[in-house]
Amino acid sequence: MNQEESDDEATCPHLQSMHHHVRPHSKGCEECLKMGDSWVHLRLCMQCGHVGCCDDSKNKHATKHFHATEHPIMRSLEPGETWGWCYVDEVGFDPIPT
């Protein structure tokens, strides 16, 4: 573990619950696909692999997933983006620790 990873974990203990090899369940927002709706950006739950839409999307399924499951860490699924977010501590990481 390097110093930056150590600092991140001191700031957010929820990083320990993150699964580093989680895979997305779908290629789009799971709920929006079922509803036939659209999204702006995609987010990946780092505990279970759920794919939800961002808070700029009208349905905000990534945040709704957090409230339903209490899975705290998500990351962006957008190409070229490396950041993540902890809903509980309201802290971001860029890049998200691996």
User: Domain segments of the chain: what residues?
Assistant: 3-89
Whole-number pLDDT of residue 11: 76
Q: What is the pLDDT of residue 6?
A: 42
10 Å Cβ neighbour count for 63?
A: 18
What does the pLDDT read at residue 5?
A: 43
| CATH value of 3-89 in 3.40.50.720, 3.40.50.150, 3.90.76.10, 3.30.40.10 | 3.30.40.10
Q: Residue 64: which H helix or E strand, with range?
A: helix 61-69
Mean per-residue pLDDT, 55-61: 98
Per-residue confidence band for 2, with pLDDT thresholds at 50, 70 and 90: very low
User: From CA 58, how far away is CA 2, in angstroms rounded?
Assistant: 39
pLDDT at residue 3 above 50?
A: no
| pTM attached to this predicted model | 0.88
- The identity of residue 74, as a single letter, is M
